[in-house]
Copies of this chain bind each other. A is one copy, B any other.
């Protein structure tokens, strides 16, 4: 061991000392998180320039303490603080004490439960905890182990869940029609579906042109219309292609829209296409199903083939944790199973009972012990605690919505659905009609920039139906009503500033494009380049 490392790399006593340093560091971070701008004002290369070009040969004295000082002084100021109570940009990655400590505990045990035999208790806990979670979320019995046929697993992300289910559906279909027809397979989603789905389909070898992102509209609240889906399916069948897979979304990324799962499944089935694999992606909004009053958003999911949600998003389970349930695990293990490996088969419970070997439910062989973390979250908060958590955010979002509606300059362009959207409205009447849309969009873009530049709130945006909207997602563990109120004050203040500039420089003729906003023919350079 080098001179400054008197302890072996894994050492219980030193772990007690170092563990306290890290626990205190994290606690202090939570104490001070309010002091950081949510999003750092740094330029590319800022950190790389401050670090040596090579790793040290020898560790310095008390290297962990020194490294933690660097984390505090160099790294924290350059992070986007996802746990900040002022972070409203993306669907939250909710942290909890037990979520973080569950990760720590799993990292400490550091097992690799790829088969039942490789760590029996870890596999069994995953079987138990995916059933627990499924029941808590009112997931239908046919997707659970306890229902007899189905079952769940814990993956890292929704994209992985999509990829695994697409591959399962693909191989089942190709076994029927022949491998050479892979180019004929078609997958379906809406134009609001997260891009991860198209990426997953591409990774699985689905042709670029064979991913149908069916158009949505204001009329249906940007949900996927069963009629439009069927039209796309029929056109493909008429052209000799083979419908394979539908990804319906419960809680889309842009507006948290809820695709009508029951009607979509019924439409496919009614048209003789019940062999199309239906996956329901409820990455964000699945958490809401813990509350009986929101269970209706997954109405009809018992007719789907698979369902996934991310407890790391809104259920306090820390990064990463995606729960995937399937009605027929056999379809997954047929496509992703690897039975021939003598090394892994050794020690399996041959003949005694059928065990779950989770390596056959996922892309990789190796896996972390995620079940431990989720089990701790469920044990330590209880289903009631999770309900209270979700409801507190919905309540705050409702309060935010009310404040927005009370300010005539703003509108709520699509119905609030868990998260909330808002949009600057003022000035519409002062523009020529044909340019109005672009100008309003540009104003809202400027508003978002201005809000985020304050460091006191961080929001994001979406473009739906040609309309640029500010996107405010409430759901962080540390966010309280006062933070939501402050965020709204920031938005109002910045809107006032922007509208004052527009008033000062503006008139009737308004030209706007993505890079340039001209008002009354004069380029408002200060407005564009500055704040």
Question: Which of B51, B90, B128, B381 is the one whose CB lies under 8 Å from A112?
Answer: B90
Are B105 and A71 interface neighbours, CB within 8 A?
Answer: yes
Interface residues of A, count at CB 8 A = 174
Over the window 180-199 of chain A, the binary record of Cβ atoms lying under 8 Å from chain B Cβ atoms (1 yes, 0 no) is 10110000000000111011
Report which residue of A81, A110, A180, A203 has the largest number of chain B beta carbons within 10 angstroms of its beta carbon: A110
Bound-state Cα–Cα, A51 to B99, Å: 20
Q: A14-B97, A57-B382, A93-B112 are in contact. Are A75 and B121 (CB under 8 A)?
A: yes
Are B101 and A9 interface neighbours, CB within 8 A?
Answer: no
| Complex: chain B residue closest to A319, CB-CB | B368
Residues in chain B near residue A31, CB distance under 8 A: 12
Residues in chain B near residue A110, CB distance under 8 A: 82-83, 93, 95, 99-100, 318-319
| Complex: chain B residue closest to A11, CB-CB | B97
| Complex: chain B residue closest to A336, CB-CB | B199
Q: How far is the CB of A314 from chain B (nearest CB, A)?
A: 12
Q: A364-B160, A382-B55 are in contact. Are A462 and B343 (CB under 8 A)?
A: yes
**Residues 87-116 of A at the B interface (beta carbon under 8 Å):** 90, 93-101, 103-113, 116
Query: Is A44 interfacial (CB-CB < 8 Å)?
Result: yes
Are B117 and A107 interface neighbours, CB within 8 A?
Answer: no
Query: Is A526 interfacial (CB-CB < 8 Å)?
Result: no
Question: Which of B26, B131, B376, B385 is the one whose CB lies under 8 Å from A108?
Answer: B26
A-B pairs with lowest CB-CB distance, top 10:
A205-B205, A78-B121, A19-B23, A26-B108, A103-B107, A104-B104, A47-B124, A157-B364, A10-B477, A9-B96
Query: Is A436 interfacial (CB-CB < 8 Å)?
Result: no
Are B11 and A30 interface neighbours, CB within 8 A?
Answer: yes
Residues in chain B near residue A434, CB distance under 8 A: none
Query: Is A384 interfacial (CB-CB < 8 Å)?
Result: yes
Q: How far is the CB of A266 from chain B (nearest CB, A)?
A: 30
Bound-state Cα–Cα, A204 to B117, Å: 28
Q: Which of A349-357, A409-417, A423-431, A491-499 contacts B (4 or more CB under 8 A)?
A: A349-357
Bound-state Cα–Cα, A157 to B312, Å: 20
| Complex: chain B residue closest to A24, CB-CB | B16
Over the window 214-254 of chain A, the binary record of Cβ atoms lying under 8 Å from chain B Cβ atoms (1 yes, 0 no) is 00000000000000000000000000000000000000011
Residues in chain B near residue A80, CB distance under 8 A: 111, 113, 117-120
**Residues 334-382 of A at the B interface (beta carbon under 8 Å):** 335-336, 338, 340-343, 346-347, 349, 352-355, 363-368, 372, 375-376, 378-382
